[in-house]
Every structure is written in structure tokens, then in C-alpha cells.
Amino acid sequence: MDILGGLLEVIQPSTLFLIMAGTIVGVLVGALPGLSSSMAVALLLPFTIYLEPIPAIAMLAALYCAGTFGGSITAILINAPGAPPAAATAFDGYPLAKKGEAGRALGMAAVASVSGGIFSLIVLILAAPVLATIAYRFGPPEYFALTVFGLSMLASISGKSAVKNLIGGAFGVLLATIGVDLTTGVERFTFGVPQLYEGISFIPVLIGLFAMAELLDQAGQKDSPLERFSISALKLPGIDDFKRVWKTILRSSGLGTFVGILPAEGSTVAAMMGYNEAKRWSKNKDNFGKGEIEGVAGPEAANNAATGGAMVPTLALGIPGSATAAVILGGLQIHGLRPGPYLFENQPNLLYAIFFAMLIANFVFLCFGLVGAKYFSRISLIPRQFLWPTVFCLCVVGAYGVGQSMSDVYIMLVAGLIGYFLNKAGFSPAPIIMGLVLGHLVENSLAQSMILFDQDLSKFFTRPIALFFFALAILSIASSPLSNWLKGRRRADAPVYNDLNE
């Protein structure tokens, strides 16, 4: 009856209208570089004060789901991720667009996003209290072990040299250390610049490494023949594509849901891990980074699954699972609702209404994404001398919009210049981005763990969950050398035949 009550609340015409409006706004905002779903939800929050609690929270939840997907549109079309979770989508999505398969990439992003979102919502409906209890057991040591596991994927995250990937990842971690250390109060690499005291914002670096670096690369090709894409750019993915990626989508959906449940991890980390796991299990590893459809399906399924997962600790414990979930938590409190275990007992209608709102939002942006894919993909047909000046304006506006600071614009421009030369030298932006994302988490969780353990590293071995992730990290690092060694042994042991023996 509680499920039916929640459904009846959501299918009210006014509530459905708000869900659809939130979904469309989320897709459009997510597609703009520099603007994230958390920013859009925060801007919309004051207007929900005058609404009833269920329609208000339903609209915010719908915007959250759609905003995560929207970032993939510009990530695929112009290599400018509209939101941080879409950074991993650009690794293979943009090469697909350059090959004239923008519609195929956009369609796959829409389907994978919805699949991940629905998977996480089913988990949310069936197991939210249990999963929230598991997430509550994660302390600083467990988060440190999880981020170490994430960093262990750096060597294989792109098709470039493993050594260059590790160097790029180390550079990303180094960027994450800029600013005042929250534990000791020591200034690091600020060079007396006040704007660097709080560290470098992730979004300007993201825009610079992807969009600005690509813009500079395109500018260097102004004398080359103008590349024309065929009408196949408008073609959507086919049945063969879905047969090829369904295992990747299922795997990434599970991973994204798990990562989303962990407070403070969020969609960006889930997308990075989803991309890496897609590559790890793929039969076409060498195609990743060159336009592999699994490289779009993996991160998109993971980052949208993380949105549903992030609502588990938000609703069950009152601990936000992501930045956007934190804003939605504020919306719940504005309407006099206190998230926690009692919410599941006293107001189940509200919870199921939120679940159904997110479910409807997924289907709405599936239709919007598939129908709009053919129209969005036409952007790839625009001559670059008209397209890229527009991209530059979007980059500047997106970088400035993060904190209304020109220093973020300068950081974006510098990151673009560095990214351009790193690309020329054979470095991929993927490990740099992953190092920057995980750098903050690994440093802060290690500092908190050492305080908790009274500077005794051996106490990490008393935490079973941390040991599990450390073991996964060791296996991740050792898997590639071990695989190469086994292949070498097989070749050495194989019988040698020659023409005389035949």
C-alpha cells in the first residue's frame, strides 16, 4: 500500500509536470560546461519553498538524475564535459564523434544512463536500510583503502603507456595538494597567491584539459583540409551494439550503485571506476581511447547508478552521498522532514514518491536523449571555424561560473595549455583527472586515519573492509604483469613445428 500511495502522489498532473520540467532543465544545465546538477538544484531550491514537500523533492530528484546524463552531450560532441561525472565519457565518446558516429555515442549514453539509473533505483527500493547500514561502517581507513584501489587503476585507464599514465596520475595528485592543508594548516604550492589557498577547483582543470586542449589542437590544423562528417553521424546505436555492451552496463550499474552509497564518493569517482572496469573486462582493450562504444556505456551506467545510490545514505541516515544529495537533504529539512530511520517508518509515501519521481525522470530523459540525439549530433557537422569559437566562449563562462572568479578562468587557460603539450607528448588526460579527483580523498582520509590510529599504520590491518580493498588494489596492479608473464610461459611451452616435421 505504501508503494501504491507513493505512485498516486507522483502521477498527479502538477507533480508530473514538475518532474518533466526538472528533467529537461537538468539535461540542459548538465550539458553546459562548468554547470553541474548540484549548482542547478541549489539555484532551484528557494523556489520549492512554496510547493508541497512531495512535488518539491520529486522535482529536485528528477533534476539530479537528468543533470548527470546531460553532461555527456557536450563531452561526446565537443570534448567539453558538461559536468565532472561526464569526464570519463569523453575518453571514447569524443573519438566516436570525430569518426562520424556522434548519434551512436549519444544514443548509447542515454540507454546506459537510464539502465544504470533504473538498476540503482531498484536496489534503493528493495535494500535501502540494509545498504545504508553497511555504508555507515565506512570510516576514514575504509575510504583511504577505496581510493588506493581507485589509484591502482591509473596504469591501465587509457591505451597510452603505463609509465606515462602513472606520471600523469602523480601529476593529478600533486595538483590536488595545492592549498592549505586542513590537518596541519601548512600552505603548499600557493606561491603567496590568495586564490590558491583553498586549492584548485576541479571543474576549471577539467574544462582546460579537455575542451581548451582540443581547441588548441584544432587551431593548429587550420591549414589542413576541413574534415566533413557523413550523415552516419546521425545514426543511433543498433542491436549489435547493445548485445556487445549489456554485460558492461550491468557491471558498471552495480559498481556505480555501490560507490554512490558511500558518503562523499559521488558520480565522478563511480564514472572513473566504471570506465576502468569496462576496459579491464573488455575483449577490445586496445580500442579504448580511440572510440570504443563500451567506453561510453561503462562510465554512463556507473555515474547514473551513483545518483540512486547516493540517495540511500541521504534518506536512511541523513548523510549525503554526494554534493547534489547534500542540497536535496537541505530541501528535505526546509520542508520540515528529518531523514533517518524513522522516515522509513513514519513517511513511506514520501520515500516511494521520490523513488518513482527518479524512475519517471529516467524514462523522460531516455526519450529526450534518443529523440534529441539525432539533433544534438548535428553539432558535429558544423565547420570547426564556427564551432570552436563558440566552445571557447562556453569554456570561459563555465570556468567563471564555478566561483565567479577570474582566477578560475586563468586556471582553465593554463590547464588547457598544459593539456595541449601533454597530448603532444603522448600523455592522456584521463589519469591526470583521476589523480586530481582521488587526490583530495586519499590525502584527507589518510590524515584522518592516522589521527584515529594514533599514528600507528599497523591498525589498518585490523579493518576487514580496508584489507579487502587493499587486496583488490594489489590484484589490480599485479594483474597486467601476471597476465603478460603467463602468456610468455604459454608461448615458451608451446611446441614448435616446422615444415620438415609436417
Q: What is the pLDDT of residue 133?
A: 63
The set of cell numbers assigned to 305 is 547508478
**Residue 382 pLDDT grade (very low, low, confident, very high; cuts 50, 70, 90):** low
**Residue 187 pLDDT grade (very low, low, confident, very high; cuts 50, 70, 90):** confident
Q: What is the pLDDT of residue 500?
A: 43
Q: What is the pLDDT of residue 97?
A: 84
Inform me whether the pLDDT recorded for 501 exceeds 60: no
SS3 41: helix
Strand partners, 179: 188
**Residue 160 pLDDT grade (very low, low, confident, very high; cuts 50, 70, 90):** low
pLDDT tens digit sequence for 16-64: 888 888 888 888 777 776 566 766 777 677 777 778 887 888 888 888 8
Do 1 and 347 meet the contact criterion of CB atoms below 8 Å apart? no
SS3 155: helix
pLDDT tens digit sequence for 203-259: 788 788 877 887 887 777 655 544 444 445 556 777 888 888 888 999 999 888 888
Task: Average the pLDDT over each of 303-317, 384-398, 482-496 and give the range with the smallest value.
Answer: 482-496
pLDDT tens digit sequence for 283-296: 888 788 888 889 89
CA distance 101 to 237: 9
What is the overall mean pLDDT for the chain?
77
For residue 99, CA distances in Å to 106, 275, 290 come to 13, 20, 9
Inform me whether the pLDDT recorded for 451 exceeds 80: yes
CA distance 278 to 273: 8
- Cα dihedral 190→195→198→199 (10° resolution): -60
- State mean pLDDT over 477-486: 68
Bin 266: left if φ > 0, else alpha if -120 < ψ < 50, else beta: left
Q: In 3D, which of 178, 232, 181 has the Cα closest to residue 205?
A: 178
The contacts of residue 485 (CB under 8 Å, 6+ apart) are none
* Burial label, 484 (beta-carbon count in 10 A; 0-12, 13-18, 19+): exposed
Q: What is the pLDDT of residue 341?
A: 58
Strand segments, DSSP code E, in 258-307 are none
Q: What is the pLDDT of residue 355?
A: 80
Q: What global pTM score does this model have?
A: 0.67
Could you give the count of Cα atoms lying within 13 Å of 154 in the half-sphere of its Cβ? 27
In terms of average pLDDT, the best of 78-87, 258-267, 462-471 is 462-471
Per cent of the chain over pLDDT 90 is 1
Q: What is the pLDDT of residue 502?
A: 45
- DSSP codes of every residue in 457-470: GGGGGG-HHHHHHH
